[in-house]
Each structure stands twice: as structure tokens, then as C-alpha cells.
Chains A and B, each alone.
Chain A
Amino acid sequence: MFTMREIDKRYDAVIACQDASLQVEPGEIRALLGSNGSGKSTMVKILAGLVKPNGGEILIDDAPVTINSGRDSRRLGIATAFQDLSLIPTMTVLDNILLGNEPKGKLGMVDRKISLSSVVALLERFHIDCDPDAYVQTLMPSTQSLIEVAKAVFMKPRLLLLDEVTAALHRDEVQLIFSVLRELKAQGTAIIYVTHRMNEIFEICDTSTIMRSGRTVAHVNTDELDLDEIVFYMTGQRPDTEEILETESCDHEGRELILDVEHMALYPKVHDISLKAYKGEIVGIGGLEGQGQPEFIRALLGVNRPEEGTIAYMGEEAHFHSPADAVHHDMGFISGERNREAMFPERSVGENVFAGSAAKGSLFKYLTAKVVRDFAQAAVDKYDIVVGSLAHPASSLSGGNQQKLVVARWIAMDPDLLLLDDPTKGVDVHSRREIHRILRQCADEGMTIILSSSENEELLEIADRVYLFYEGRVSGMLSGAAKTPERLVAAMMGMARNLNGATREVERA
């Protein structure tokens, strides 16, 4: 029996797990469920030896153990298949599967014959059609996912951890994995299964552990629960699937249609997204993590070109070649990934505010320090942004103020359409409120804002209408009175009510 008790994990101020627990017995398949940032991935990483908990204990058969590394984890009979894969792309399929478990032959050399026969047998068991000597980086993403699972199963673990491994897989491939899981279960392997697909839980899992905000809120038998209750435990909201897809009718008369996206697809993440945004409106995009939101936003900006569908911007079909092209057409973009996509930490606050404007002007236009300073000062004054001295380096600001700075940069350019990708991630409450105030002020002045957020409260608070993404599709659009937490949660989980009143998942490709 594997038990985790009173697990605590903190990253600086962010709490990933708090007093979390988990228990799984041999021959049991347990679902580990939770919404965004609930700590389920952290629990998996702790068992895999990639993350060390700040507190709590792990027991195997009632004996406490410590897991400090991947080696410890393996030695205790734990094998993990990760969502973002743990394969080495530059090694062959054979070497990847055997890594750490190479059969020993003469003189301590790896026995190639035994290696090959056991790997070929494993590939056949999973119906994977590939050359064992092919480099993993040359294989399709779905094949790589299957190999990731096969690799974990190959270790003959006592505890098998599967972290959203089916996300990239086709229905048939999922069934294949399920049949292997049933075999393992019959052999007495304990299995922890993390997923966001609700139908899979009812199909394969005996029991469920549900986490919310880093805490374990329920240990239940799956057949004693219905979907509504699971979602209630996950989100604290009872899902209301009533008429979610029929709230499109909304009062937009007399408003200019700024953005009209029809059936956009950008595989593998975005399958079919249609979205409209009107002038002076704040449109929210919500959903679980990894349902295609960042890809969609970046496609609007011209980072990637969609494979299917059309984007009409200000009434004309748009084909932006690059973000610079989009910015030239009065679009703005604010990323939640401050350090990677937005900040110039060594440069001054003033220069950071001016950066967006600099991108717009011609390349050899003469600039003086005064132009930069005045521009930044005007922006800071207009929206009442407290950022300290304009001459200080941007890295001297707190995270919340840095994000306000990035917001200031773009609104100072007065774009017609402003895209925000989870802009308040890791931002303190006060700065978040400030950013919301600034965004609302901009919208009232006629700016159109599209804001993606991983937090439902933020979407309910600031967005006029909310689109929910599920597996690369729009699973619901909420506005006006329909914009309730209950409906939002139902759409986020991919639940929609069909004519018979039975809940089902949104059709998967």
C-alpha cells in the first residue's frame, strides 16, 4: 500500500500542496483529479522524485520512505509516465525504453540480443509500429506518448503513475492503454491515473482522490459519485449544464465587430474555435490548462498561421506574418510569462514602457531620451500606475509592478485590440485589482480586450463574455445572466447537456 500524508510544498509564496494526502492499494486504479493549480502534478512529481516536499511523509506498506531522486523512486518500484514526456529525443526507442534497466551481458556490456527481443515484444504489446532503432525525435507525438507509457510499464512497477498521458492520444490508442492497465491491475499493480477527461475516470478508475488548491478534499469510490459531484469537489461549484451553448444571443447592436474568428484550427492543440469580439468589450477565455488557449492567442497575433479557418480583423481578413505585423495593425499583446516574453529586466522602467512604441516606428528614426521619458511619463500619469522612478531598471520592481509595467507599455500605444495571456499569473491581489481597473478604463474608452485566464474568479469579475475552451474547441460561451460560476465550471470540464438531459462530454476528434 502506498500512502502520502500531510504533504506540504511551497515555491516561495506560492503554495502548491498543503496537507495533501493520497492512498492507493495494489490492484487499484485511482484517479487523481483537480482543477488548474490544484497540486496534482506536484504530488506526482514528489512520488517520481523530481520535487522534494517541504513537509509530510510517504509510507510504503506502513514503512516511511524518503524519495530524493528518480533513482530512489525507481528503487521503491515506482514508475512514472509524464505528461510532457521523459524520453530523451536524441536516443533511439530501444535505448529510451531500457534506460536504467539495461540487461547485463558479458563483461558488464549491455546485451543487445535480449534488449532487442524484449523491446520488440513490448512494442507489439502496445501495438506501436516503429523501428526500435529510430530516434525518438523523429516519431509522431502520439507514438512518443505511447512509448512513454510503454517505458513505464516495462519497469514492472508496484506503483504506476500516469500523468495526463492520454492527452495526445486517439480514442483507439486510449482503449489500448486501458486494456494494458486492466491487465496490470489484475496482476496487483497499484495505479494512479491523472486526467482531465471525465469519461475516462468512470471507464477505468475504481476510486478517486480529488484535490483543490493544494488540499485533498475527497477520497471516494468512483461508482458512488456522479460527474456533478466530482466537479463540485474539484471546483467548489455545482456544474450547471443548462443551455450553455445557447447564450450566443447578446446585445451587440450598434457595436462594431472587431474580431471574428471562424473555425480556426492549429493542430495539435486548437481544433475548432470560433470567437467574436466587439468594440469596447472585454472577452474572457477560460478553461483547464493546456486546452489550446495560448496557441489560439498567439495565432491571432501571427506567431503561427492557423491551418484552417479564417480571422477577420476590423472587417477584413487578416494574415499577419509576425507579431510585428499584427502590432503594426494596432494589436497589442501582454503575456503572463513576464521574463520570457515581455520584460527587458536590465533596461529602465521608462524604456520598458516605450518598447512597444519603438517597435512601431521606423527603424532609423531619431530618438532622444526626452521622447522616451515623456512618453512613459504620460502613460504612467494617465492610468495612474505606481512604478517608482522611470530611470530605475525594470528588474528592481516587484512581480506585480513589472506586470503593470507591461500593461502600461501596451495600453500607452492605444491598440484597437489588446490580447492578454494569463496576465495576472503570480501577481499579488493589489496589483491584480489595479490591472483590472486599468483594463476596464481602457475598454470604456473603446479598446477591445481579449483576456485568457486560468482563474475563474478573474474571468467572472472582469469579462463581459467568457468563452470556455475544452480540447481545442469552444465548449461554452457565457454572457450576462448566464455568466455564473456553476455554468462556467460545467463548460470548463467539457460537460454539455444534450437533448435527453444526460450529461456527456463534448465530442472528441
Chain B
Amino acid sequence: MSDVKQMFLRFRRTPAFVGFTLFAFVLVLNIVVQGPAQFFSTRSLNTLFSKNMPLLLTTMAMAPLLISGTLDISIGIQLALVNVVSIMVFQEWGVPLYIGFLMGMLASLVVSALCWGLVSVLRLPSMLASFSLIYIVRGVNVLIMDKPQGKVPAEFYKTYDSLIGGVIPFSALFLVLVLVVWLYLIRTKFGRNIYAVGGSPRNAFAAGINPVWVQFQASMVKGVITGLAGISLTLMTASGNPLQGEAYGLRGLSACIIGGLGFGGWGSMACAVFGAGFLVIIQNTVYYFFNLLYRLIPGFTVTSYWQNLVSDIIIFFGLLMTIVTAREQREALRQGFVKQFKGGEQGAR
């Protein structure tokens, strides 16, 4: 067997395969609908990265949590926390904005530690605890900043929207930074431990790992990535808003699942990237698809809700596909069918 074929077979077995396939599929679709020349223009690529970096980073922040067997759906509103802290520190204290960003990052780490305390130490159900955190963080946001306000200096948001060397979107640096750090972390003991704890906390404990501590480490990684996501959101919007970003939490979670991450010990950062990429590109595609319809069919007008409907239906099928293709779940589904029709666990093997 050739090396390439071997590599493909190996890749096929990894959890990221489904996410990659979905992502590649819609990417090709997007290029076709938008036209290759248009799609690959530096301006279009730059917009794609700069407008979607918060979602991409939110999804990547969720990945270490899911791998280590926990969850935080309040990440979305935490972006707004980073945003308001950054802006208010800058505006009220008169310090440079990057000090504000640092404080925003700190706030994100504090909330991450709080969520860890509720879920890993006090053992509250993660879904419930982080759901209640949404309201707590939102309240704190409004206490810090009562209404949308503030301005980011032009040199900051212009840099964010710029192209490095006229080619590489500046915002893509966030992605590269997180990926490089993550690639290092995953090769350390920490990288093994989060999978062990997510896969089976009891067995990880028996192997001498402290699951609560490992989940704390994972939460801190999540906190840093969430901080970066909040900073990119601030640079993107160039102002402060205490109530924005909430939807990123659940969207990030669904992106993880589409990408092939499971609840505990299954999946990788690549899953998160592909999953988020899928969500982003599908919306892009549908937008350009409707543009195409407007041009091709004279007098064709629909509200933008139709775009959402179409893209959500495609996302739904994407989710369905992950169930059918994810090895574990497919096996469960198959066994379920066989059990119904043949009436035995054994027949299903």
C-alpha cells in the first residue's frame, strides 16, 4: 500500500474526518457559488477571517473543555465580558488599550475558574451551571457598562482589518497563535491527561491523575482562548456592548459536535476548527447563493430569514451526518436497528 493511501486510511479513522469532509464539501460549494476569482481575492478572504474569528476562537475554546469531559455554554457572554472590561479599563483609567485587553483576559480566566469550581469541584451538572453563569456574567457586564459605548482607537481596528504583506489577514494570526500553542500542549503530559480524564475519570484517577486539577488546567486554556476571542470581537466591532455575543456559546458547541468532538475524551482541536469552518462557510455560501438567485431571477426578493432557514437546514443535515458517520454513534445506531429487527445483542456484533 502506498504511503499516501496509508495516510488517508489513518486520517479516516481520526475523529476529525467527518468534520473535515463536511468542511471541504461546503468549501468547494462556496467557491463554485461565489466564483473562484471572487472567493480567493484577498479582500474576501480577509473579511471571512476578520468577521468570523470570534466564533472560530469560541469553538476552539470549547474543545479542551469537551475533551476533558466538561462544558461551558456561557462562553458567548464571556466574550462580551472581555469586551466591556477592555473598553472600560481603557476609557475610565486612561491606560493603553492593551492593558485593557490584559484585564479582559484576566476577567475571562476568573470566570473560567468560577465555572470550573461549580462544575468540577461542586459537581453541579455542567449544562445547568454554565447556563446560570450566562445570567450572572450578563449582570456583571451591565454593572461594568450600563449601555453600549466606547471606542477603540483607529490604529487598533485598522491593524485588525489589515493584511500582512498584502496577503495574510492579520486576524488569522489569532488562529495561528492558538494552534501553535495547542500543538505544543497536546504533546505534553497535559495532552494525554485531558483525554484520560474525559474518557473515564475513575480510571484516570486510578492511573494517578487528579481529574479535578486536569479540568482546571483545561479551564485555564479555555480562559485564554476565550480572552483572545473577546479581544478579536472588540477589535472587530471597535466598541463596547455588554449584551452581545451570547449566541456564540451554543453555536460554538454545535460547531464542536459537527466537527466530531464527543462529550468526553473523543475528538481534537482539528474537529473544532473544521466544525466552526463548516458553520462559517455554509452561511457564506447561502448568502452568495441567494445573491446569485437575485441576479438570475428578475424580481426575486425574499427576506434574509430565508437565508437563515436554508443554512440551518443544511447545518441540521450536517449534524445528522456526524451521527451516521461517527464510528461510535454509528455503531450504537446500527446495534439499535439490529436489536429491533433481529432481537439480540449478539446479532449486532
Contact = CB atoms under 8 A, between A and B. Distances in A.
Interface stretch (B74-82, B120-128, B134-142, B202-210): B202-210
A107 interface: yes
A87 B188 contact: no
B184 interface: yes
Interface of B is mostly: helix
Interface stretch (A274-282, A302-310, A414-422, A473-481): A302-310
A71 B345 contact: no
B195 interface: yes
A90 B346 contact: no
Interface in B147-201: 184, 187-189, 191-192, 195-196, 198-200
Nearest to A45: B206
Interface string A86-105: 11111100010011101000
A224 B246 CA distance: 73
A89 B192 CA distance: 13
B199 to A, nearest CB: 4
B334 to A, nearest CB: 15
A137 B10 CA distance: 17
A184 interface: no
A304 B346 contact: yes
- What is the predominant secondary structure among interface residues of chain A facing chain B? loop
B205 A50 contact: yes
Interface in B327-349: 328, 342-347
Given A88-B265, A99-B196, A70 B346 contact: no
A50 B210 CA distance: 12
Contacts of A73: 208
Given A88-B196, A98-B192, A110-B191, A305 B205 contact: no
A70 B209 contact: yes
B266 interface: yes
B206 A109 contact: no
Nearest to B343: A321
A69 B188 contact: no
A393 to B, nearest CB: 23
B184 A69 contact: no
Contacts of B205: 50, 69-70
A90 B204 CA distance: 12
Residue from A99, A109, A266, A322 having most chain B Cβ neighbours under 10 A: A99
A110 B189 contact: yes
B207 A100 contact: yes
A48 interface: yes
Nearest to A136: B199
A267 B184 CA distance: 45
Interface in A32-59: 48-50
A80 B199 CA distance: 19
Contacts of A99: 192, 196, 204, 207, 209
Nearest to A104: B189
A465 interface: no
B188 A110 contact: yes
Interface string A103-119: 00001111000000000
Contact of A304 (B184, B192, B345): B345
Interface size class on chain B is: 20 to 34
B41 to A, nearest CB: 39
Contact of B209 (A71, A82, A307, A322): A71
B343 A80 contact: no
Contacts of B191: 110
B69 to A, nearest CB: 10
Contacts of A80: 206
Nearest to A137: B328
Contact of A70 (B208, B266, B343): B208
A317 B191 CA distance: 55
Interface in A430-459: none
Contacts of A304: 344-346
B347 A305 contact: yes
A90 B207 CA distance: 15
B170 to A, nearest CB: 28
B195 A90 contact: yes
Nearest to A75: B208
Contact of B199 (A91, A109, A266, A302): A91
A49 B265 CA distance: 23
B207 A86 contact: yes
Given A266-B346, A267-B346, A307-B346, A49 B206 contact: yes
Which residue of B187, B202, B265 has the most chain A CB atoms within 10 A of its CB atom?
B187
Interface in A238-275: 266-267
Contact of A109 (B188, B202, B209, B262): B188
Contacts of A50: 202, 205-206
Contact of A89 (B189, B200, B206, B346): B200
A347 to B, nearest CB: 23
A108 B188 contact: yes
B209 A102 contact: no
Contacts of B198: 90
A407 B244 CA distance: 57
Nearest to B10: A133
Interface in B229-259: none
A211 to B, nearest CB: 22
Interface string A277-313: 0000000000000000000000000101111000000
B259 to A, nearest CB: 16
Contacts of A69: 205, 208, 210
Contacts of A82: 206
Contact of B189 (A87, A102, A302, A319): A102
9 contacts: A71-B209, A86-B202, A88-B195, A95-B196, A99-B192, A99-B196, A109-B187, A306-B346, A322-B343
Interface of B: 10, 184, 187-189, 191-192, 195-196, 198-200, 202-210, 262, 264-266, 328, 342-347
Interface of A: 48-50, 69-71, 73-75, 80, 82, 85-91, 95, 98-100, 102, 107-110, 133, 137, 266-267, 302, 304-307, 319-322
Given A70-B208, A90-B198, A102-B192, 10 more contacts: A70-B205, A70-B209, A71-B208, A73-B208, A86-B203, A87-B203, A90-B266, A109-B184, A110-B191, A307-B346
